[in-house]
Structure formats: structure tokens, C-alpha cells
Amino acid sequence: MFQLTIVMPQSQITWALTFKEEQTAVAAFAKFKDEQSNQVEIIDDFGQRFYGGRFKDVMMEDLEQTKTLFIDRQLRQWHTQIDAQRAAAADPKLKTEMMRRGNGGQPMLTPQFNS
């Protein structure tokens, strides 16, 4: 699936149109790129009808790629947290502080494995 996000210049309000096929999204995106057009009318694959003009910005994204990017970023964050825990456990000053706080030398940082 593909999404066009439209930013209206006066209000900074965004509007999203969603398409099942890339070709349909590209055709809709091309309407915004046409500098001769003052007004654009588009109906997405889910029945949203957009009509307007004078747009600030329009972005097209592949939602499957966006999902992959989100997952990769989250995994990288978890790896970073685990590396930080290991570094904290190996640091004498931090290890002393963890013992003082009564958590038995366990790392102070904990990854948030929730979505």
C-alpha cells in the first residue's frame, strides 16, 4: 500500500490518501507535481475524496517499506539498550551504584519490549 501525505500551506494540516497499488499512487502524486494545475481532485482506494489547491508539500511513501524501517529502528534501539546494559554491568562505578540501590548488580537500564 502507498500513502500520499498532503500539507496545506495556511493551516499546516495534513491529509493522507491511501492507495493499494503503486501505479495509482504515482498517478495521483503526478497531479500534485503539475504546476499548471491550481486545483486537484483525487479519490483514494478507500473512498476518501480530496479536492483542493495551493499545497505546501506532498510526500509519497510505500507503507510496507515504512513498516520495515520502523521494525529495523526498533531492533537497533533494543540492541543499543542491551549494549548499554552490558557496558553498565562492566563499569565499576555503575556496578557499585547498582549494588547500593539494591538491585543485586543487575543493570539499571531495561529494554522496553512493548509495541
Q: Which amino acid is at 68?
A: T
Q: Quote the pTM value.
A: 0.65
What is the C-alpha to C-alpha distance for residues 36 and 12, in angstroms, rounded to an integer?
23
22-63, pLDDT tens digit by residue?
999 999 999 888 766 678 899 999 999 998 877 778 899 999
Number of other residues whose CB lies within 10 A of the CB of residue 84: 14
Per-residue pLDDT at 107: 54
Contact 6, 58 (CB under 8 A): yes
